[in-house]
Amino acid sequence: MTQEQHFDVASYALGVLDERDASRFEDHLIDCPSCAIELESLLPVVDILSDVDADALVATEQSRRDGLMLKTMIGEVKRERRRANSRRLYSLAAAVVVFAMLSIGALFAGGQWLGSSDDQAPSQQAARSSKQLDPLPIAEGGTGLGGTKLPGEHLTGTDPRSGVTADVGLERKDWGTQVSFAVANIKGPLLCRLVVVRTDGASEVLSTWKVGEKGWGTAAQPDPLLLQAVTALPREDIAHLQIQAVDSKGASENLVRVP
């Protein structure tokens, strides 16, 4: 910014620039937040000067020459302040200041958003997953483990080797199938998953969860584990479901199949 442009701030605020210089300064003002802020700070002073009684002020001046100059300046300010472009001055200054502040704020906030976007994604995904694993509400349908009513078509299965029992409710939806299931006589610690096997033999993991030491449907924890999951598969494409245990190396073992 040049010294001349600094002087132009006061001259523009007082309205003493000719049309060419005023237009040149306005072009500069759009790209210079510093001048815009300085202009905004001068506006109250210009308001005060426009209400000053020039004749009374000149009477107090020591020099007639200085008094005449001051009188001329104040008179010019009064005339310019009454012009319609005074409204444009306020609007332009305010707009540029707001633009400058928003630009600085956007740069600061943008850095935070970019930095936190990746950190938030896992927590949001976890929240969505946990929502699918909420306890089942009481609904019309077949009576399952622990007296729970599973919605939709009711299926059940017990594995003679593992002793795990599972009840499943398959409910048809416009978007696929909702799977509600209850698991009992399962002991931990285990990492488990629900797998749907399609009629063409392909499989899909619908949900995963952990089983603590007390287990579910056991003497230590009599209540069955109640969960929900969803799949885009229509009911007629589902052959059966499996509950599997997964070890630390990713190997799986079938605990129960339904039906």
Domains of the chain, with CATH numbers? 3-51+84-112 (no CATH), 141-258 (2.60.40)
Helices (H), the chain: 3-14, 19-30, 33-50, 54-59, 64-81, 85-132
Confidence check: pLDDT of 223 > 90? yes
What is the pLDDT at residue 6?
Answer: 54
How confident is the model at residue 242, as a pLDDT? 98
pLDDT at 36: 78
CA nearest 77: which of 157, 12, 14, 156?
A: 14
- Which pLDDT score is estimated for 41? 76
pTM of the full structure = 0.47
Please give the pLDDT value at position 94: 55
Indicate if the pLDDT at residue 216 is higher than 50: yes
- Predicted local confidence at residue 148, as pLDDT: 74
In the chain, what is the straight-line distance between the N-terminal and C-terminal CA atoms, in Å? 80
For the four alpha carbons of 97, 100, 101 and 102, in that order, the dihedral sign comes to: positive
Q: Residue 168 is which amino acid?
A: V
Greatest Cα-to-Cα distance within the chain, rounded to the nearest angstrom: 116
The more confidently predicted of residues 249 and 120 is 249
Average pLDDT (52-65) is 56
Give percent of the chain with pLDDT exceeding 70.
Answer: 58
Each residue's pLDDT tens digit, 75-134: 666 666 565 455 555 555 555 555 555 544 544 444 443 344 444 444 444 444 334 434
Mean pLDDT of the chain: 75
**154 within 8 A of 169, measured Cβ to Cβ:** yes
**pLDDT over threshold 90, residue 17:** no
Over residues 225-245, mean pLDDT? 96
